[in-house]
Chain A
Amino acid sequence: MEIHVDDMAGVAVAIVPVAELDASNSVEFKRDIAPVLQAQSRVVLDLSQLRFVDSSGLGAMLSCLRQLSGKGGDLKLCSMSRQVRALFELVRMHRIFDIYGTKEEAVQAFQRQFV
């Protein structure tokens, strides 16, 4: 999948470009986000297009977080729909990720974090 990445004040903001992130495309997502994770340590995933995520999709995002944490970086999520937020809460993933309403808020949080 084609993942569009913006640089916002030194933070990589990647848009997850699918409505469903599940068993059918989570491997592809992990493969295509890998270069971003290798190149950057501060990454925001923009989930505004996402409507559904299953456990494979959540697992893929968790893997991103662990990769970045492993090298001293961090992953933040933003622009979650109500349904996707509900799924995160359902399985307690909302306590693992830093979640923000907008990408600007997420980027600002990085800036505060690394000042």
Chain B
Amino acid sequence: MSLVCANLVNPGGDAAALERSILCHAQYSLGRAWEELSARDRFAAVALAVRDRLLDVHFETERRYRQRDPKRLYYVSIEFLIGRSLASNLYSLGIRESCRQALSNLGVDLDLIEQGEPDAALGNGGLGRLAACFLDSLATLGMPGFGYGINYEYGLFRQEIDAGYQREKPDNWLARNSPWQIQRPDEACVVPVYGHVEHGVDRRGAYNPMWMDWKVLIGTPFDMLIPGYGGKTVNFLRLYSARSSNDFDMGIFNDGDYVKAVEQKIASETISKVLYPSESAASGQELRLVQEYFLVACTVRDIVRRFEQTHSSYCDFPFKVAIQMNDTHPALMVAELMRTLVDEKDLDWDQAWDITRETLAYTNHTLLPEALEKWPVPLMEHVLPRHLQIIYEINHRFLAEVRARQAAEQGADEGQIRRMSLIEESTPKQVRMANLAIVGSHSINGVSSIHTRLLTTLLVPDFYRLWPKRFNNKTNGVTQRRWLLAANPALAALICSAIGDGWIVDLPQIQAIERCASNTGFQQRFAQVKLANKERLAQIIRDVSHVRCDPASLFDIHAKRIHIYKRQLLKVLHIVHEYLSLIEDGRLPAQPRTFVFAGKAAPGYWLAKQIIKLIHNVGRVINSDTRARDWMKVAFVPDYRVSLAEKLIPAADLSEQISTAGTEASGTGNIKFALNGALTMGTLDGANIEIRQQVGAENIFTFGHTADEVRSLLRSRSYRPRDYYERDYRVKRVADAFRSNLFSPAEPDLFAWIYRLLLDENDDYLHLADLPAYLDAQEKAARVFQDTPAWTRMAILNVARTGHFSSDRTVCEYARDIWRIGPVL
């Protein structure tokens, strides 16, 4: 029997079977003997062997779903920040040790193979990573939930640093195809775009708008299998690539216009070519709008196709299909589903509208009004003429409903009508995607308690007053399988040795380690794990950032997208304060620290890129100053991504979550750090507030103005940064440092903008207002850190009390309150 046959008959999870599979794929899928494979191809051979096992469970899962015909959840997101898959797939299938043995027999270390996997960086940050965590939880809970996204050829750019400046390099993660992906060309779909609507009548004389002169995109699905922990359920993430069909181009080719044929092919494929960096995705960019529509159109086609395989009446649609829109990027779903039901399925408008609203739900992710998506009406008309018509009709009917309500209750209020309209009456007019998503959904949720409160009271209060029951909160969570079990195996093993492994699928069980929090032996083992993680990170910092740091120092980490509201600048102000206190006052810090930054700035976001330069310049001055050598180090670790986060987070002592209160919807980094035993230094923002409730105010460092205080200061225009500057010498000295060229001796005035920003009464992020309290909180943290048993106890309690923040809990809440789906086991 050949290797292939042996493999097909019995994949098996033992080491011998895995070894056979790996060799089989080396030889027959990759065409080389194992010994001749490159490191990348060895990873591919292992991944393909694992994929065989995933497929077996996937077939079994699909069979179960077909038998039971459950309601299915489709999670639609423009981003899925998957990261690496090999380790998590091995954990989920329970074959990691077998695989390690198999590879050992072949003379290779599994860890090296895992490290060789490129990140699937199909997202910018929290929103995309949340989507990936949800897929893990859905599969682990045995729920029929599937992701739908775009198969970007280029993920988020690779960040390199040149003389302190960020340089963006393309991340062509699909250059050699991903072994995890399965192409499904037979399920490709045709997507029309552009053209115009011709108003006519059908054969019965009824009004019939026809979409004419459209261009064609072809959406080809690629499936990535998503196993649940325990290996009982394998769902999928379906990612669409825009392809032009060679067949379709051949006509032009045969006419002799080869260049035109190639140009059309390239234009079509551009749609899924690149993920937009977050700040660059502002409305007005035609390609981005086409991308969003492409995702929505392909997804609806596929959902409808699946539904029609087993159902004939669209009355059943909301009982069999739930669609969650992850932010407004898929908000065109409202118009596309209506178009499908009315134009293609011949449903009348009211019935189609009821079905659409019962099916769709929307998650809001931002409180920054400027981040709410809008599309110019002329652009929408150019790209999606029929959809714009439908949006106008939705708006017309919706505003009539609001006017009727006003007439019956408080009387006419045109201001409210203007705010709630799907169309902003600006020049040019704009389609408000958040309003569209809200009007078309039966559920609208925020992602933390404070975010939902601010969403309903500040961002869209008119909608909340109209439909209070549609609004709800679903506080974010993270999957403990990736962020503790896989990212921090030593801590996971320590926890398992103390309380068993039930927490892996039921995170609240982790609370049982509270009883070990004061146990000296446990504390010592816990501290040893942390130290080992810090040593590993110190090595990485030495290798990539060329900074030598002491693993015994306090690792103070600020890792997230670079953005003014996340206040990396505030962290820098703290560092500068510590440094100036040391060199000017001779005041030694309470505790040696290593300040670690990581994060990407959107390529077009000047201020964020300047902050990266600032961090490097401050680091260069401090790291080269012999007076500070034993007390402070500053490191920027480039190219922040999931696999780097998996190294940074387990090594943190202090987790910086210092956004201006009222700006961060939830954050999930804060949760991941706490789960790994870092203490949070945070403002009362996003999920920090709930973390404080869970871990106890005595086990977290909070500081700064509350969201209500921030709002009050900004609304009353009473923020006077100069008062803080004059009142507190620490604030004055730090701000003045940026006028003195201390950190840019070779480039005078490089950072003068910082002084101006800090003292500008229009600094909406209130850096100086929060600085004194921040410095005080940092002093307190440093003092506590010196008491190792006390600090370690607090760290253990943080781990023990983060059970609430599993994405399993979040997904169960969505499933119960919004999707109405359950496990199918």
Contact = CB atoms under 8 A, between A and B. Distances in A.
Contacts of A93: 210
Nearest to A58: B212
Contacts of B206: 95
A58 B74 CA distance: 33
A59 B211 CA distance: 11
Contacts of A58: 212
A55 B192 contact: yes
A92 B190 contact: no
A23 interface: yes
A24 B200 contact: no
Main secondary structure of the interface of B (DSSP, over half): mixed
Contacts of B209: 92
A19 B248 CA distance: 10
B203 A23 contact: no
A17 B778 CA distance: 78
A33 to B, nearest CB: 17
B216 A54 contact: yes
B24 to A, nearest CB: 37
A89 interface: yes
Interface stretch (B250-258, B406-414, B676-684): B250-258
A58 B190 CA distance: 15
A86 B208 CA distance: 17
Interface in A61-114: 83, 86-87, 89-93, 95-98
A91 B210 contact: yes
B314 interface: no
A52 B248 contact: yes
Nearest to B344: A89
A24 B211 contact: no
A55 B195 contact: yes
Question: In the complex, which range does the number of interface residues on chain A fall in?
Answer: 20 to 34
B728 interface: no
Interface string B201-231: 0110010111111111000000000000000
B370 interface: no
A91 B202 contact: no
Contacts of A89: 343-344
B36 interface: no
Contacts of A20: 247-248, 251
Contacts of B213: 55, 59
A11 to B, nearest CB: 18
Contact of B212 (A55, A83, A98): A55
Contacts of B203: 95-98
A90 B206 CA distance: 18
A81 B344 CA distance: 16
A86 B216 CA distance: 13
A55 B211 CA distance: 9
Given A20-B248, A55-B214, A95 B202 contact: yes
Contacts of A83: 190
Given A55-B192, A59-B212, A59-B213, A24 B202 contact: no
Nearest to A65: B203
Contacts of B190: 52, 83, 86-87, 90
A91 B248 contact: no
A91 B202 CA distance: 12
Contacts of B252: 23-24
A87 B189 CA distance: 10
Interface in B145-203: 190, 192, 195, 200, 202-203
B208 A95 contact: yes
Contact of A90 (B202, B248, B255, B344): B344
Given A91-B211, A91-B212, 9 more contacts: A23-B252, A25-B251, A52-B190, A52-B245, A54-B248, A55-B214, A59-B212, A92-B211, A93-B210
Task: Enumerate the 8 nearest inter-chain pairs by beta-carbon distance, A residue then B residue, closest first.
Answer: A24-B251, A95-B202, A91-B211, A89-B344, A55-B214, A92-B343, A95-B208, A55-B213
